[in-house]
Amino acid sequence: MDNKISEIFIPGPAGRLEAKYYKSKKNTSPVALVLQPHPQYGGTMNNKIVVETFHQFMENNFSVCRVNFRGVGKSDGEFDNGQGELADAAAALDWLERENFDNSQCWVSGFSFGSLIAMQLLMRRPEINRFIAISPQPNVYDFSFLSPCPTSGLMIYGKKDELVPIEYITELDKRLSAQKGIKVEFQSVNTANHFFSNNEDNLNKILNEYIKKETALY
């Protein structure tokens, strides 16, 4: 595979957004947007989990983009407590869809704070038909806006997540699994913390299996 990842700039609501982009050679390939963790805690699009997720999509023939929110890296603007970051994610998705107007599927994924933004984007964009949320933080952010959650997806968390007490994940699982017509899978990695330190292989295996299973339906 020609691993040609381009550095690009996407026009965003607060100026240009720095992004990395890989275009699949396959026509009608699915697209995916991967979102970074919290900018105020050192999160960037080059976070290890974000990069690993990006590569899993790449290896499964997606055209995939990861983006630095406003004020991160070479992106213009400054942190906006989630509202602006959601607008940035929407601008990145617009760009990705324009570049791949014949895409067969549209996925969104995010890690930690990025998973919150991904889920908020999902609620606003009916064309998104799968999601992957890694280390969501329902104890910090209110996920009750996912009622009903519009599409099936995957939530991955570590059983040893030091930032999220397990009962919050269990509660979210209970709420989402009660919804009809969609299936949100929850997968845990027993030994993983919030950042999946030394558990990248386990994470990659889960990502790869889920992506393969859900793209085979199309």
pLDDT digits (tens, 9 = 90+) for 129-183: 999 999 999 999 999 999 899 999 999 999 999 999 999 999 999 999 999 999 9
Burial class (CB in 10 A: 0-12, 13-18, 19+), 22: buried
Average of per-residue pLDDT across 6-23: 98
Please, what is the average pLDDT of the chain? 96
Tell whether the model's pLDDT for residue 124 goes beyond 60: yes
Q: Is residue 1 within 8 Å of 11, Cβ to Cβ? A: no
Q: Which residues pair with 22 in a beta bridge?
A: 5, 64
Average of per-residue pLDDT across 192-211: 98
**Domain 5-215 listed as CATH 3.30.565.10:** no
- Kindly give the pairing relationship between strand 15-22 and strand 5-12: antiparallel
Tell whether the model's pLDDT for residue 85 goes beyond 60: yes
What percentage of the chain exceeds 70 in pLDDT?
Answer: 98
Residue 3's pLDDT is what? Answer: 65
What percentage of the chain exceeds 90 in pLDDT?
Answer: 94
Tell whether the model's pLDDT for residue 217 goes beyond 60: yes
Average of per-residue pLDDT across 78-105: 97
Tell whether the model's pLDDT for residue 213 goes beyond 70: yes
Cα–Cα nearest to 71, from 12, 116, 135: 12
What's the pLDDT band for 101 if we cut at 50, 70, 90?
Answer: very high
Q: Is the pTM of this model over 0.75?
A: yes
Whether the CA torsion 26, 27, 28, 33 is positive or negative: it is positive
Tell whether the model's pLDDT for residue 218 goes beyond 80: no
Give tens-digit pLDDT for 21-70: 999 999 999 999 999 999 999 999 999 999 999 999 999 999 999 999 99
Cβ-based neighbour number of residue 63 at 10 Å: 21
